[in-house]
Structure 1
Amino acid sequence: MKVEGDDQQQGKLSESWSLCTVQQVEDFKSLIKICPLWSSSIFLHTPIAIQMSLMVLQALAMDRHVGP
């Protein structure tokens, strides 16, 4: 937030990197709240991916001929 004691050079704040809008702060907070959901999905999708790859490996290794 811009306060009255900030140094200005040619109409711009000297430390403009520290300024952000309220909307940007709220967007960042909403992303932080979603992080636990994303991290838990890694633990759910990893066994499914392993199971799918093992099924493909089993299909490649088995004898698929019915007759002689």
Structure 2
Amino acid sequence: MILSETDLTRAIKGTTDLAAASLATRIVLNRLRVQARTEPAKLSGLVAELRAFVAKNSDAAAELAKL
């Protein structure tokens, strides 16, 4: 599954509960969400980091698509 830039940005900026996601996805996304709140100027870099994570973890793409 391919997620768009908008999908990844929405996942980072969102507040959806991540309880159903895998531990790895929860850890990465929570860290990115905290960084996005404290340093909004770095959002494009955070999106790139999430894209790289999803590329390595195919299950993460499906989990993020459900958010």
Q: Could you state the TM-score of these two structures normalised by the residue count of structure 1?
A: 0.27
Q: Which has the higher strand share?
A: 1
- Higher-Rg structure is 1
Which structure is higher in RCO with an 8 Å CA cutoff and minimum separation 6?
A: 2
The structure carrying a bigger helix percent of its residues is 2
